Amino acid sequence: MRIKPFRVALVALIIFIAAACAGFVYLRYRQPAPPAPLSMVFTIAGAGGDGVRFTEPFGLAVALDATVYVTDGDAGKLWRLKRDGSASVVAENLETPSAVALAPDGTIVLAETGAHVIRRFDPSKGITETVAGLAGRAGYLDGSRAEALFNAPVGVAVGSDGTIFVADTYNDRIRAIDKAGNVSTIAGGGEPGFVDAQAGTDARFDTPCGLAVAPDGALIIADTGNGRIRRVEVGGSVSTIDLTGAGFIFEPSIQPLSVAVDKDGRIYFADTGNSALRVCANAPVPQRWTLTGINGTGFEDGTLERARLNHPSGIALAPDGTVLFTDTGNRIVRAVVGQGRERGAQASGEAVAKLFQTAAEMRAAVPPRWPYEPPERTREIAATFGEIRGELSESERDAWFHNGLDIPGAYGEIVRAVRTERILNPLPVADVGTARERIRFPTLGYIHLRIGRDINDRVIDESRFIAVRNGEGRLTRVRVRRGTLFEAGDLVGTLNNQYHVHLIAGTVGKEFNALAALELPGVKDTVAPTIEKDGVSFYDSAWRELRAKAQGERLALSGDVRIVVRAYDQMDGNAARRRLGLYRLGYQVLMSDGTPAPGFAEPLTTISFESLPRDEDAAQLAYASGSRAGATGVTIFAYIVTNVVRDREAKADVWPTAKLAPGEYIVRVFAEDFFGNRATRDTPVRVMAAGS
């Protein structure tokens, strides 16, 4: 049969379209590989042994000779890290410096956020000068260098002609400083928002923190408060770069804090909220991928897939394509390297852990006080670190760890700072108007407050707390600038309808028990924990409960056994109804005469709440079904003491009775509070031979 030409053409066209569509889908939705040959994450400074000690590495820039300049916002320093590994502080006594950029003339431009100015450091002369802004005065004003005002700017970048671009963070604007020092506004308006526009001043940003100059002269903006990457054209029009869509791998909410652009237009950014580095490219078709940081928050050097980051802030590209970044939450500077681009070395988790205060060191550094007035008046403690929140049952598995200390107070009572700290997170306040409204300082968090407001929702200190209202005048947000200093005793907010402050101790991701980290005047506990009646239960590996055949008989056990204890604590001065969680639990197996059984010379401390596990779902390893706690209802703490939950790790485990000779034993379970009070409960058991 003869096929007509138009049918041949139609079939060919269909095949062509199908192939094109398949190619487009493949290119768009596949996970592209990062530009070769990047393959590893190494630490280049700050992990010990190199004389470098950061408290908050934030911004960084790389010179043509691979020298890296790094700001330490908390310490107020600018560091220089040379390619040979040597390091030195080249500027200090700065007020919360943030982003830093290299100018064409070799000078270093930085945003001194806490002082509301833009500075320039000249490496050849070793001097720092003000480019624009008035030190100590926040505001908004275009004009000459002597009269222009900024509002805690965080981001800076420098164009090829020497123009300095500024992310004027709390003015929500993008500004430019020409070579004569004159300041003008390129984009953004007088309030936070999200609007793309042809005219830059019609556009709206929300707390922009980072920016970079693309090869075509456009500005790429880390619009942090909006969780977006924006583009400002040379002519001023503003658009949003699409980071979402079916098949893309980004989390639904990103928090870009800084950006860098390579010669091919690829955009690299630090997604601080998700502890990852991301990359996007829009030609020939949109592509987005995670460079590294898919393994959760924490620290680990190694392959891109295994490496873990902790809230990175700054990102920069070296001339050879190496990606450098400040791993702020880990207090180090790291690099994404590859063959022929080696820099730094693989650091250990133990070395990074030593960069942080222990709970005992924090306790010694903070004068004793409660978060109320008078600071020496003893208060009740309503909940402790590590307690279960939510419920575990056959039908309900929504449970998590309580990560702070609950200290009750009166509705509307003023909550005050427990220690002196500067705000470093550009967006430290969250969930305004909800029961969980909170603010995060570097080492302390305060939850269940009206941040900066009185009982009538009025802002108390407008120089420190910036109210954001909608068109109807209703308060929608409260902002506190990066760099704002709070002395111990300064007002943080007032208690909302939860009637307590939830106090978190420790840096983000490295929280520890507030009872160990803070000295609270007059607090004491002489009450031993209570192990409930019939509160010790035994189960087989399939979670079938094991019971004695008759009352008074020893419990017969064989194989792998799980042990659960229902217990709670109480404290001096607390209401009798108040049940608190335990600090340490464990068990020991004894011979029938009371001497330790083989392998149990000392009691096994299996659960210890000095810190919390990295795994957010680990509450189900510490607590057994039936556990529950919350604002209402009965509180039940049923601990699985054969599991291991301590030292930031959690794993399921059992007591392997087969390791003991058949015979009669005693299982002693213990429950201990933070103050060392201990309760024990002995259960006589008979270990049976396997298969009996």
Residue 149: pLDDT band by 50, 70, 90 thresholds? Answer: very high
Whole-angstrom CA distances from 171 to 149, 167, 271, 432 are 10, 9, 22, 20
Class of residue 626 by CB neighbours under 10 A (exposed 0-12, middle 13-18, buried 19+): middle
Whole-angstrom CA distances from 223 to 220, 279, 292 are 9, 15, 21
Task: Give the mean model confidence (pLDDT) for residues 164-186.
Answer: 97
CB 510 within 8 A of CB 403: no
Is it the case that residue 213 has pLDDT exceeding 60?
yes
Is it the case that residue 14 has pLDDT exceeding 90?
no
Q: 172-176, 430-434, 610-614: which range is least confident on average?
A: 610-614
pTM for this predicted structure: 0.91
Position 428, amino acid = P
CB 422 within 8 A of CB 485: yes
Q: What tokens appear for 488 in the block?
A: 């111990």
At 253 the pLDDT is 86
Q: Which neighbouring-strand residues pair with 670?
A: 586, 680
CA–CA separation, 279 and 254 (whole Å) = 12
Per the model's pLDDT, the better-predicted residue between 191 and 414 turns out to be 414
At 281 the pLDDT is 87
Task: Give the mean model confidence (pLDDT) for residues 226-239.
Answer: 96
At 632 the pLDDT is 67
At 25 the pLDDT is 39
86-99 pLDDT, tens digit each: 999 999 999 999 99
Please state, rounded to an integer, the average pLDDT across all residues of the chain: 92
680-691 pLDDT, tens digit each: 999 999 999 976
Residue 284: pLDDT band by 50, 70, 90 thresholds? Answer: low
Task: Give the mean model confidence (pLDDT) for residues 496-510.
Answer: 95
At 252 the pLDDT is 58
At 189 the pLDDT is 92
Is it the case that residue 29 has pLDDT exceeding 60?
no
What Rg, from alpha-carbon coordinates, does the chain have?
Answer: 29
Is it the case that residue 569 has pLDDT exceeding 90?
yes
> Which helix or strand (DSSP H or E) is residue 27 part of?
helix 5-29
Name residues whose C-beta falls within 8 Å of residue 395's C-beta, 6 or more positions apart in sequence. Answer: none
Residue 48: pLDDT band by 50, 70, 90 thresholds? Answer: confident
Position 448, amino acid = H
CB 118 within 8 A of CB 164: yes
Q: What is the DSSP letter of 353?
A: H
Task: Give the mean model confidence (pLDDT) for residues 71-82.
Answer: 97
Q: 56-65, 103-112, 239-248: which range is least confident on average?
A: 239-248
CA–CA separation, 163 and 317 (whole Å) = 20
Residue with tokens 């619009």: 223
Nearest Cα neighbor of 667 from 600, 569, 575 is 600
Name residues whose C-beta falls within 8 Å of residue 69's C-beta, 6 or more positions apart in sequence. Answer: 60, 61, 62, 63, 78, 79, 80, 81, 90, 100, 102, 108
Nearest Cα neighbor of 448 from 435, 457, 458, 460 is 435
Residue 23: pLDDT band by 50, 70, 90 thresholds? Answer: very low
Is it the case that residue 573 has pLDDT exceeding 90?
no
CA–CA separation, 386 and 383 (whole Å) = 9
Position 231, amino acid = R
Task: Give the mean model confidence (pLDDT) for residues 187-194.
Answer: 93
Whole-angstrom CA distances from 46 to 7, 277, 326, 357, 493 are 69, 20, 10, 15, 35
CB atoms within 10 A of CB 619: 25
Q: What tokens appear for 290 in the block?
A: 């995670």
Please work out, in degrees rounded to the nearest 5, the angle formed at the alpha carbon of residue 584 by the alpha carbons of 365 and 443.
30
Q: What tokens appear for 245 in the block?
A: 């869509």
Q: What tokens appear for 317 in the block?
A: 């590209």
CA–CA separation, 437 and 459 (whole Å) = 15
Is it the case that residue 692 has pLDDT exceeding 70?
no
Task: Give the mean model confidence (pLDDT) for residues 668-675.
Answer: 98
Task: Give the mean model confidence (pLDDT) for residues 671-679.
Answer: 97
CB 191 within 8 A of CB 202: no
CA–CA separation, 489 and 350 (whole Å) = 35
At 5 the pLDDT is 47
Nearest Cα neighbor of 384 from 611, 524, 573, 581 is 581
CB 72 within 8 A of CB 79: yes
Task: Give the mean model confidence (pLDDT) for residues 15-35.
Answer: 45
Q: 247-251, 379-383, 578-582, 657-661: which range is least confident on average?
A: 247-251
Overall size of the chain counted in residues: 692
- Region of 295 on the Ramachandran plot (φ > 0 left; ψ -120 to 50 alpha; else beta): alpha
Is it the case that residue 33 has pLDDT exceeding 60?
no
SS3 of residue 460 by DSSP: coil
Per the model's pLDDT, the better-predicted residue between 165 and 549 turns out to be 165
Position 148, amino acid = A
Q: What share of the chain is helix, strand, coil (3-state, %, to 5)?
A: 10, 40, 50
Is it the case that residue 15 has pLDDT exceeding 80?
no
Q: 281-290, 516-525, 666-675: which range is least confident on average?
A: 281-290
311-335 pLDDT, tens digit each: 999 999 999 999 999 999 999 999 9
Per the model's pLDDT, the better-predicted residue between 360 and 281 turns out to be 360
Please state whether the peptide bond connecting residue 374 to the residue before it is cis, i.e. omega within 30 degrees of 0.
yes
339-388 pLDDT, tens digit each: 877 789 999 999 999 999 999 999 999 899 999 999 999 999 999 999 99
Is it the case that residue 594 has pLDDT exceeding 50?
yes
Whole-angstrom CA distances from 370 to 257, 386, 449 are 34, 21, 16
Q: What tokens appear for 321 in the block?
A: 């394509």
20-45: b or e for each residue (b if 16 or more CB lie within 10 Å)? Answer: eeeeeeeebeeeeebeeebbbbbbbb
CB 401 within 8 A of CB 388: yes
598-619 pLDDT, tens digit each: 999 999 999 999 999 988 789 9
At 114 the pLDDT is 98
SS3 of residue 616 by DSSP: coil
Can you say how many angstroms the Cα of residue 87 is from the centroid of all Cα atoms in its chain? 28
CA–CA separation, 33 and 12 (whole Å) = 32
At 37 the pLDDT is 80
Please work out, in degrees rounded to the nearest 5, the angle formed at the alpha carbon of residue 562 by the alpha carbons of 557 and 563.
95
CB 270 within 8 A of CB 325: yes
CB atoms within 10 A of CB 193: 15
Nearest Cα neighbor of 254 from 230, 219, 283 is 230
